[in-house]
Structures are given as C-alpha cells and as structure tokens.
A = this chain, B = another copy of it.
Amino acid sequence: MSIRLGDNQYGKAETHVVRITKGQTHDIKDLNVSIALAGDFAESHLEGDNSKVVPTDTQKNTVFAFASEPVGEAEEFALKLGRHFVKEFAAVKRARVTIEEFPWVRISVGGKRSPDAFMRRGAEKRLVLVTCRKNEEWVVAGLSDLVVLKSAGSEFWGFPRDRYTTLQETHDRILATAVTARWRYAGATTIDWAKSYDEARRILLETFAVKRSLALQQTLYDMGEAVLASRPEVAEIRLAMSNKHHFPVDLTPFGLDNTNEVFYAADRPYGLIEGTVVRDDAPDGALAW
C-alpha cells in the first residue's frame, strides 16, 4: 500500500528550569524549555527501532546539565542546546528549541531592591524560538500575554454592510488586546539579545499607546512597522492580537446615560487579527518558524 511517513518531530516539552546565579546579589533565570528534533527517525516509526532516537529524558537532562553554567540570555541558551543536538547526533537534521521565560522583578524593601527576593512580573512571557540545522540557524524572539488597553484614540467605521451586519460605527471605542509578537532576526547571531528585546517591547507598547487606531489591523501594522523601522537586526515580525471586546452597556432601561464609560468585558467570541510585517530585502526565513 502506498502509505508512508511524512513530516515528523519529537522531543521533550516544558522542562522547567530555574537557574540562580549567586554573587553579591542573586540573579534568576526562569525558563520553560521545549525541544523538538527532526531527522532520520523513520525506523522508530516503522519498526520500533530506537537506535537513533535520543530519548526525551536525555534531552531534559541536557537542559539541566547545560544550566550548570550561567545560562545568559534565553537566545544563547537555546542556541547552545540546538547546536548540541545537531552536532552530536548524526540523525538529528533539525533541532528546534522553544523557551518561554517568566520575568521576575526584585522585591523592593524600604525603597531598595532586594538582593535575593523576587516577585513574578505577571502573566507576560518572553519567547525564544531557535532552529538549528547542520549548517544553518535562525533565531526568533518575542513575547506573549502582553495585555494592553487604550480608552481613547480608537475608532472603527467605514466597513461594508450586508444582510447580517448589525454593528454600529464608532469613533470612540475601547481597544483592548492580548499581544503575541514574534520577530525573526536577520542572520547574525551576535546580537545584543537583551537590548534588542527590551527595545522591541518598548516600541510595541509605545506605538500601541500613541498611534490613533482606525482598525486593529492598522494598529498591528503600525506596531510591527515601528519595530522594523528602528531595529535593523529584525527581518520580520509576526503579530497575533485578539480583539478583547469591551461593549458599552445600554443603561437607558435604568434611566441612566452611558457616555462610553461603563463596559462589559466579554470573553468569547473575540476578534483575532494576525499579520506579518516584513523587510523586503529580508533573507528567507520560512524554516525559522
């Protein structure tokens, strides 16, 4: 029968390693590391021959072992892991390392930052996705679960109407969204990862805050364009932004006005806007994702 194995990959997902580096003050890195290997693994699928299958347990051990030295930025740690698997195992043609980093901030004590006590800075995560092949590699950085809202400067009108359209046009709405942004670096892997991340995040936030929005699509594009415009090391940025609807509540049955101040925050359904902003001369990065 003409049935065959197609694309496949496997690995250990969500190895949650916390690395404390102890000097005069302590530093913390809190990383959730997922590894996916692709390559020459047909025998395992077809015959249960595991002679080339690096156990996912070994992958987990490798994460912990590599954390015995300071891990640096998550991009560096991911590159170190990815390179290890493609270099050490002939069967591994591609190693993909995904890291979610949970940010912590120092607890403030009497106005001074504690040397060794920390507080989680919320739901937002920093993301890294590294893809290594035998002689190529790609680095994608990003963030997720960044929830932002603007109560001025957002409109939505001029859209087509059909039989099923009941939405009113608005020149003043709340725009709230959970941002997932991932940007691909152009080639070099000698970037100042921390600075590039901090700047991209700052630009995303400031652009969201400042730019008038006629559509969430426009906001998404503006945010992506602003990152590319000021960060030459970024080749492409992909954004996914939910439209977390805040509906003005009709208070007229109660004899009350609602001058766009009282809103019902809905859970579902929600809009979902996804888009890419890319530099025209960017090297191809299809395999990076």
Contacts and interface: CB of A to CB of B under 8 A. Distances in A.
Interface in A106-160: 107-110, 114-124, 146-153, 155-160
Given A150-B118, A242-B13, A61 B261 contact: no
A221 interface: yes
**Stoichiometry, copies per complex:** 4
B228 A3 contact: yes
27 contacts: A3-B229, A6-B236, A6-B275, A6-B277, A8-B276, A10-B216, A10-B273, A13-B272, A14-B270, A16-B265, A16-B268, A19-B261, A22-B260, A34-B272, A36-B274, A45-B221, A51-B160, A65-B254, A67-B249, A88-B162, A107-B148, A116-B151, A116-B153, A117-B148, A118-B149, A119-B149, A120-B147
Chain A binding surface SS class: mixed
Contacts of A269: 12-16, 34, 56, 60
A160 B53 contact: yes
